[in-house]
Amino acid sequence: MSEDGIFPAVQRTYGSDDLSLAASFAGGYINFGDWSTLGRTGPPDRAARVRSQQELYRRVLREFPDPTHSRVAEVGCGRGLGCALALAELGFAAVTGVDIHPQQVARARAANAALLTSRPDRLDYVTGSADRLPFADGRLDGLYSVEAAQHFRELAGFAREAARVLRPGGRLVVTTFFSSGPAAAEPLREVLASFASGLDVAHPIDGFSAELSRAGFAEVRVRSIGEAVWPGFDRYLAGGAVPPGHWSRNFVTAWRDGLLDYYVVSADLPA
Ligand SMILES: C[S@@+](CC[C@H](N)C(=O)[O-])C[C@H]1O[C@@H](n2cnc3c(N)ncnc32)[C@H](O)[C@@H]1O
């Protein structure tokens, strides 16, 4: 762990390396995308790549039944574009983006400066960690996270914090990739550099849902959305975004081999 408590690979990737500029992403978002509403003819262009990432946010945000009366926060907000979408497009009452990396928070504030000025009471970006969220008990109606939980060192602390900051009846929605089980950890390190470096942690999906139940969530729902994510993302990579043989192409292989999958996990606290 570095001096500021950030795991070194996370510190580097979202600090000096600024992953949002990598060729496999586009438009300031940093997720693999939901391609289910995009056409399948020909390699997707940059505009489609941006839209895929916005679509993943829309899929998550639509899980909240009453946006206009919901005060929500995003854990691992990156450049904060998903928070801006939640506010401007879906009309959430208030949105706070939380990120462990102070440089990401600074980028989020810069990228969304106009919205921060026009809606100062409804949008905010703050530094904080998934296992130490900067909110008082019961403060939020909803909490969500998009492609960030694979970086959390452990998920028990996140589950406990989510249960603490949500009000009774509050909802948590998490989307990202999880491993199929403990036996997948070693093969994932062999085929994917992000697991080998420790940037990504092979959290088994069953372990996460068990942690949510232990933390007090009822109604834990787990849905695989791999079919909507991996083939489209790989088509984009294959269209020239990365050189042939680049390790990122192995995500689709790891999915087909049953080592990992992409999920939407949602859970409610008892009312
Ligand atoms: C892959 S990016 C996703 C960003 C954004 N959600 C998106 O989809 O564009 C993951 C983000 O999670 C943040 N992060 C990593 N570990 C974290 C932690 N323990 N607590 C809060 N944020 C974390 C990183 O700094 C990074 O900005």
AA letter at 94: A
The answer to whether the CB of 146 is under 6 A from ligand 1 is yes
- What pLDDT, on the 0 to 100 scale, is given for residue 5? 84
Beta bridge partners, 124, equal: 96
Contacts of 12 (CB under 8 A, 6+ apart): none
42: CA distance to ligand 1 center in Å? 31
Closest approach atom of ligand 1 to CA 25: 9
In the reported structure, the alpha carbon of residue 185 is separated from the centroid of ligand 1 by a whole-number distance in angstroms of 21
Q: Which helix (H) or strand (E) element contains residue 166?
A: strand 166-179
CA dist 239 and 228 (Å) reads 18
The pLDDT score that the predictor gives to residue 42 is 72
Distance 191 CA to ligand 1 centre (A): 22
CATH number belonging to domain 8-268: 3.40.50.150
Determine if ligand 1 sits within 6 Å of the CB of residue 86: no
Asked if residue 170 has its Cβ within 6 Å of ligand 1, the reply is: no
* Confidence at residue 154, expressed as pLDDT on a 0 to 100 scale: 95
Q: What pLDDT does 4 receive?
A: 74
The 3-class secondary structure across 98-110, one letter per residue, is: EECCHHHHHHHHH
Residue 28's contacts (CB-CB under 8 Å, 6 or more residues apart) are 20, 78, 79, 81, 111
Pairing of strands 94-99, 123-127: parallel
Q: What is the mean pLDDT of each run of 10 residues along the chain (271 residues)?
A: 82 94 94 92 88 98 98 98 98 98 98 97 98 98 98 98 98 98 98 97 98 96 98 94 92 98 98 96
End-to-end CA distance of the chain: give it in Å, rounded: 38
Write down the residue that tokens 């959290």 correspond to. 203
Distance 265 CA to ligand 1 centre (A): 17
> What does the CA dihedral 127, 122, 61, 215 come to, rounded to 10 degrees?
50
Question: Taking the CA of residue 180 as centre, how many other CA atoms within 13 Å lie in the half-sphere pointing to its CB?
Answer: 14
Q: Which atom of ligand 1 is nearest to the CA of 56?
A: 8
> Which pLDDT belongs to residue 43?
81
Residue 20 CA to residue 40 CA, distance in Å, equals 24
- Cβ–Cβ contacts within 10 Å for residue 241, how many? 20
Classified as helix, coil or strand, 159 is helix
CB of 152 shorter than 6 A to ligand 1:
yes
Q: Where are the domains of the chain?
A: 8-268
Q: Return the residue matching tokens 């787990």.
A: 222
Whether 265 is in the pocket of ligand 1, judged by its Cβ within 6 Å, is no
Can you tell me which residue has the tokens 């292989």? Answer: 253
Distance 41 CA to ligand 1 centre (A): 31
Closest to 23 measured CA to CA, from 193, 240, 194: 240
Is 262 touching ligand 1 by the criterion CB < 6 Å? no
- For atom 11 of ligand 1, the residue with the nearest CA is 76
